[in-house]
Chain A
Amino acid sequence: GENVEQHPSTLSVQEGDSAVIKCTYSDSASNYFPWYKQELGKRPQLIIDIRSNVGEKKDQRIAVTLNKTAKHFSLHITETQPEDSAVYFCAASITGGGADGLTFGKGTHLIIQP
């Protein structure tokens, strides 16, 4: 089955700087890659996603890039703010998430230093 590796496990950045979280996946058939943000004690929230026919997608301060050849995708957060502090999860799916669920990375704890 699919395997998703996520790095780093913890990332500390100064407020205003950029943060990058990277994930690799094993199954070349995967075609849907969402990112979730989870604050302490809360549910995971979908923040951005990308499909395999797209190389990059942006939404205000966040962006995701996908390299299908290398089987990796990344989350970029610019101009980080204190409210960006959370655990971020990447995920991958072969069928677009609809039919057989998502395989998640183990998460990155993002800490924004004031």
Chain B
Amino acid sequence: DAGITQSPRHKVTETGTPVTLRCHQTENHRYMYWYRQDPGHGLRLIHYSYGVKDTDKGEVSDGYSVSRSKTEDFLLTLESATSSQTSVYFCATGSRYEQYFGPGTRLTVT
């Protein structure tokens, strides 16, 4: 568990402001992912990365962007936060098959 950290762990922000969430791993995993978790929807993939500077969109990517300049860091940015983006955000990292999750960030957009 200690190999994947997320920051901040909690954040309250206002509608229209930009927000960046950070995922940091010490596992040297090639693949990294951002998911959001909402009641009744389970976990849904936002964006993923298959290497430094290599990223692609997931199921619910609208309103989000990502960047990965180093193997260990994967950033998720909400360009202009909306109330519909209130959620718990989980980062995950993995190798060919298994994925392991970070502790999550609870984001509230007021």
Contacts and interface: CB of A to CB of B under 8 A. Distances in A.
A84 B34 CA distance: 27
A99 B44 CA distance: 15
A43 interface: yes
Nearest to B91: A43
B85 to A, nearest CB: 19
Given A101-B45, A101-B58, A103-B45, A43 B98 contact: no
Interface in B35-89: 35, 40-45, 48, 50, 56, 58-59
A97 B97 contact: yes
Interface in B16-46: 30-31, 33, 35, 40-45
Interface of B: 1, 30-31, 33, 35, 40-45, 48, 50, 56, 58-59, 90, 94-104
Given A101-B45, A104-B44, 7 more contacts: A32-B97, A36-B101, A46-B98, A89-B42, A99-B31, A101-B58, A104-B43
